[in-house]
């Protein structure tokens, strides 16, 4: 906490590593601190009973409780690297293999993306070889790849800290920009997109030449005037400097961030190429009537008196701005059993966008709740939506003599998951087909 508070450490890139008993301690530390995103362990102790120092303690309840197998649920979804010799009798090669398998099972039960890299290699006894450390260092760089910058620049009254995932695309190619807007209570150090449900999406976007930026707009901004001005400044700073391609700016939000992204896009349809919204609230007046516990925080963020907020919140709602949102491609994802933001919010907006002639893709997950886990199987679809939005723009510009147009050549049909009109996507998904 001291290193993060003093600015020495990047809160979005906290990892831990250890050898033998140090590996055991590294996993225990991660189990107790969810901010630790990745663990590397070399010839790790995974069960104290395997050590001769604990001979005869197999019935000791404390020793039993400290076995790493019992921490697998808490570690589910975290990235893990384990390397051990193929005949390590000191700590038990088989126990390390069993623990790695337990991590994968735990993530599977929670429907979380996970990265567990297990390397069982020829090595003399209980060893930790130098090349293991070099390999793990490269793994850390690939796994925890964000930095923190102040944007648009230090000293600007609208400057905020931002988590940055730099583009890993072709050298010399100006990257596109994906702005991630997190859910309520989040920050640039704790945001939805850093969770395992989006691991493949983050990696794919970076490899395709997109910079991902997570601006810290506050834990409860609800896209108020300050948040709009800040996001304007962040985007303008990155595009005017030439650091990113101004024609390829996308928004990807979850929950509060999803609704907020739609609000912003409705106000700035010519500044944004596409929007991806995961379980958004699209009618704030209706939602605060359904969930009155949220009326106070939203009214406070918008500077409204709760008693007179209904009309203002209705005007602010994305549903009231379908004509503006229809100018750009919109991707909606919602769980059918969401009890925090009822599914009708995405259904209603999808229908309104279709009536307005917009290009909308809507996926509804049967039994899905208000949980990032519903995005796990839709990462490919989210990625393709962003790529296709850019491809459509380029094709339109070419056909119109390089004159930019946000008007789609044809609307994209909306559908619910499981519809008879859908086609298969990656990971046996069901979704809407569309043509560019």
**Nearest one of 254, 299, 250, 298 to 280, comparing CA atoms:** 254
pLDDT of residue 203: 84
Element containing residue 73 per DSSP (H, E): helix 72-75
Whether pLDDT at 292 is above 90: yes
pLDDT of residue 77: 81
pLDDT of residue 409: 31
Confidence band of 336 (pLDDT split at 50, 70, 90): very high
pLDDT of residue 237: 96
pLDDT above 90 as % of the chain: 71
Whole-model pTM: value is 0.67
- According to DSSP, the β-strands at 116-121 and 79-85 are parallel
Would you tell me the crossing angle of helices 225-240 and 256-267 to the nearest 10 degrees? 70
Whether pLDDT at 240 is above 90: yes
Confidence band of 73 (pLDDT split at 50, 70, 90): very high
**Nearest one of 261, 259, 281 to 269, comparing CA atoms:** 261
pLDDT of residue 383: 98
pLDDT of residue 412: 37
pLDDT of residue 221: 98
pLDDT of residue 12: 67
80 Cβ contact list (under 8 Å, min separation 6): 27, 38, 39, 40, 41, 100, 103, 115, 116, 117
pLDDT above 70 as % of the chain: 89
pLDDT of residue 426: 32
pLDDT of residue 421: 25
Whether pLDDT at 385 is above 80: yes
269 Cβ contact list (under 8 Å, min separation 6): 324, 325, 327, 328, 406
Confidence band of 142 (pLDDT split at 50, 70, 90): low
Whether pLDDT at 267 is above 60: yes
pLDDT of residue 247: 96
Average pLDDT, the chain: 88
pLDDT of residue 396: 61
SS3 string, 376-416, reads HHHHHHHHHHHHHHHHHHHHHHHHCCCCCCCCCCCCECCCC
Whether pLDDT at 338 is above 90: yes
pLDDT of residue 382: 98
Long-range contacts of 51-58 (CB under 8 A, 24+ apart): 51/90, 51/91
User: How is 316-379 classified by DSSP, letter by letter?
Assistant: HSGGGGHHHHTTS-EEEEEETT-SSS-THHHHHHHHHHHHTT-BEEEEEETT--SSGGGGGGGH
Whether pLDDT at 407 is above 70: no
């Amino acid at each position: 906490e001291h290193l993060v508070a003093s600015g020495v450490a990047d809160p979005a890139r906290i990892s831990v590593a250890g050898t033998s008993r140090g590996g055991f301690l590294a996993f225990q530390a991660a189990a107790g601190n969810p901010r630790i995103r990745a663990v590397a362990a070399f010839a790790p102790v995974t069960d104290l009973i395997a050590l001769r120092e604990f001979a005869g303690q197999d019935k000791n309840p404390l020793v039993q409780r400290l076995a790493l197998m019992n921490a697998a649920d808490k570690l589910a979804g975290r990235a893990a690297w384990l390397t051990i010799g193929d005949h390590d009798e000191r700590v038990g090669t088989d126990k390390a293999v069993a623990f790695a398998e337990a991590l994968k099972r735990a993530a599977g039960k929670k429907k979380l993306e996970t990265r567990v890299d297990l390397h069982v290699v020829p090595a003399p006894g209980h060893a930790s070889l130098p090349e293991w450390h070099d390999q793990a260092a490269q793994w850390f760089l690939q796994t925890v790849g964000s930095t923190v910058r102040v944007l648009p620049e230090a000293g600007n009254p609208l400057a905020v800290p931002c988590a940055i995932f730099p583009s890993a695309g072709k050298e010399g190619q100006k990257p596109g920009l994906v702005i991630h807007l997190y859910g309520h209570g989040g920050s640039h150090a704790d945001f939805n997109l850093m969770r395992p449900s989006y691991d493949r999406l983050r990696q794919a976007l970076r490899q395709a030449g997109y910079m991902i930026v997570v601006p810290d707009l506050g834990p409860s901004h609800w896209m108020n005037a300050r948040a709009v001005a800040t996001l304007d400044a962040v985007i303008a700073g990155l595009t005017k400097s030439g650091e990113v391609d101004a024609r390829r700016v996308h928004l990807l939000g979850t929950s509060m961030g999803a609704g907020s992204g739609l609000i912003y896009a409705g106000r700035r349809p010519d500044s944004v190429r596409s929007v991806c919204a995961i379980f958004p609230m699209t009618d704030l007046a209706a939602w605060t009537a359904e969930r009155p516990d949220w009326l106070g925080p939203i009214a406070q963020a918008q500077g409204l008196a709760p008693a007179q907020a209904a009309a203002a919140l209705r005007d602010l709602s994305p549903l009231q701005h379908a004509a503006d949102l229809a100018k750009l491609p919109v991707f909606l994802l919602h769980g059918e059993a969401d009890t925090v933001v009822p599914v009708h919010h995405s259904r209603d907006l999808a229908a309104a966008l279709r009536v307005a002639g917009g290009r909308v893709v809507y996926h509804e997950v049967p039994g899905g709740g208000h949980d990032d886990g519903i995005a796990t199987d839709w990462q490919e679809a989210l990625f393709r939506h962003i790529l296709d939005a850019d491809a459509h723009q380029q094709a339109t510009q070419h056909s119109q003599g390089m004159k930019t147009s946000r008007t789609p050549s044809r609307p994209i049909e909306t559908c619910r998951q499981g519809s008879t009109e859908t086609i298969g996507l990656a990971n046996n998904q069901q979704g809407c087909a569309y043509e560019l």
